[in-house]
Chain A
Amino acid sequence: MSQTTAPFHTPADLAEALRLLAAHPEAVPVAGGTDLMVAVNYRLTRPAAMLDLTRLAELREWTDEGDAIRIGSGVPYARITAELATVLPGLAAAARTVGSPQIRNRGTLGGNLATASPAGDGHPPLLATGADIEIASARGTRTVPVEAFFTGPKRSVLQPGELITAVTVPKAAGPQQFLKVGTRNAMVIAVCSLAVALDLDARRLGTGIGSAGPTPLTAPDANLIELPWGRTGLFNDALAEEFGRRVAAAARPIDDVRGTAAYRRHALAVCAARALRRVWTAAHGGSGR
């Protein structure tokens, strides 16, 4: 293809993509296009040049790294749901709630992160499990813990010339949950969402909150709630509700078109209590509701 009138760069591998991006900083990277093309179609942006990521084989595979899965940033949600549900149940559950089948066939975790919407469905499970984001540029590669990745609404540490290449997610060491509140099952931007990961080896709890703050959030105080690891039968509703209160307290929601701040806090408390009951019951038995 000639690139005289409409520069659309189609690198064949990652090294070429990084070189092109360094030489053409105005080129907007595109993979699934599920965010970018909406903006283009509605004339909110008119890229002078674009750079296609869909032909970069390096970005479109996931690999088993032993205690973690390294997911190429260009693996679409449909494959995360279909192929990683056993090892990454929280992320796979979140991927299944993204958009619609058409969107999940195109949309990628890398795009979700690059957009850095507080409502991105992929983010809470990454926060709950302590994933690492791998970022490459012509200058080299760096790894950023997901908690340090988001800097504001639709803002992240990603710099011009950088590409997200992979996300490394620790394999589940216990039950995980992803709960999302919205007006229907499909094609919904979360009113709020919550991921919980129970790590039975480290006896640790992880949380990720979506769509209830300027960025996706963790709930450090909720993670430290004292769980009856030694006598698992002592788990009760009061404990689940206290966890819910702490998660709600960690949220920093606003009123917007999708819901009020008060509703988001309330829904998060309910979701968190429910999620904790479910993971605890899945791990130790009892009556989960």
Chain B
Amino acid sequence: MRVEMRVDGEPAAAEIDRPGESLLATLRDRLGLYGTKNACEQGECGSCTVLLDGDPVCACLVATAQCEGREVKTVIGAVPRPVRDAFIACGAVQCGFCTPGLLVSVADLLTREADPSDLQIREALAGNLCRCTGYEKIIDAVHAAAETMAGAVPDQAPARAHLRHDQWIRLAGTPRTAGDSREDAP
């Protein structure tokens, strides 16, 4: 059975052979989009979070056949540059397995809430498990991304009390042009 949808802004089609195939399986195994991670396959961990018609969902719990004609955005198409940069600058990435799902959830949060409180961040990210960071640096990164996206120039804005000086330096120094950000990655 052929399913046609849009993935990260491009038309995509997949031939599936059982009705229960998940969007996660289709993205990874048929479309080669490995940015969406497979961890628990029961909606507990959020590693496979994608936007389905704009809403964050666990790709493992969506049947691919339900996506006919729908718009899917993965970590590739859903995440504004400042969100990714802030995760790198703030040390919010350790092993990295949860990162794509978190980035998608954060991108969604910041479209709904330009300057979220810690509580709003914690509630929005409650479905994304990270076993490395202890979440504090992730919360720092969301604040930093929000500030960057609001147009504040980091090296002119007053440093946030919860960010160390060197984190702001690195955030300010993160290149803005595409393709040359690797030198700043930790």
Contact = CB atoms under 8 A, between A and B. Distances in A.
Contacts of A185: 126
A2 interface: yes
B2 A187 contact: no
A187 B122 CA distance: 13
B65 interface: yes
Contacts of B21: 6
B127 A33 contact: no
A5 to B, nearest CB: 6
B126 A41 contact: no
Given A32-B61, A38-B61, A50-B63, A103 B18 contact: no
Given A102-B46, A102-B127, A103-B58, A52 B65 contact: yes
Given A5-B17, A10-B68, A47-B20, A102 B56 contact: yes
B155 to A, nearest CB: 33
B127 A47 contact: no
B3 A1 contact: yes
B54 to A, nearest CB: 10
B43 interface: yes
Contact of B46 (A4, A42, A100): A100
B57 interface: yes
Determine the interface band of chain A, counting residues with CB < 8 A from chain B. 35 or more
Nearest to B20: A40
B42 A50 contact: no
Contacts of A46: 18, 20
Contacts of A10: 65, 68
B58 A2 contact: no
B41 interface: yes
A159 interface: no
Nearest to B129: A187
Contact of B19 (A47, A102, A105): A47
A101 B21 CA distance: 22
A4 B15 CA distance: 12
A41 B24 CA distance: 10
Nearest to A7: B19
Contact of A33 (B49, B61, B105, B128): B61
A103 B127 contact: yes
A103 B123 CA distance: 13
A84 interface: no
A102 B43 contact: yes
A101 B15 CA distance: 30
A54 interface: yes
Interface string A179-221: 0000001110000000000000000000000000000000000
Contacts of B62: 33, 37, 106
A6 B43 contact: no
Given A100-B127, A101-B126, A1 B66 contact: no
Contacts of A78: 55
A78 B54 CA distance: 13
A99 B42 CA distance: 11
A170 to B, nearest CB: 29
Interface string B120-160: 00011011100000000000000000000000000000000
A8 B65 contact: yes
B22 interface: yes
A37 B18 contact: no
A198 to B, nearest CB: 27
A3 interface: yes
Given A100-B127, A101-B124, A6 B61 contact: no
Interface in B37-80: 41-44, 46, 49, 55-58, 60-63, 65-66, 68
21 contacts: A1-B2, A2-B1, A6-B18, A6-B19, A6-B65, A7-B19, A8-B19, A10-B68, A30-B63, A32-B61, A37-B22, A40-B22, A50-B63, A52-B66, A99-B43, A101-B126, A103-B43, A106-B57, A106-B61, A106-B62, A186-B127
A-B pairs with lowest CB-CB distance, top 10? A100-B127, A186-B126, A40-B20, A8-B65, A50-B19, A41-B41, A8-B19, A37-B61, A105-B55, A38-B42
Interface of B: 1-3, 16-22, 41-44, 46, 49, 55-58, 60-63, 65-66, 68, 105, 123-124, 126-128
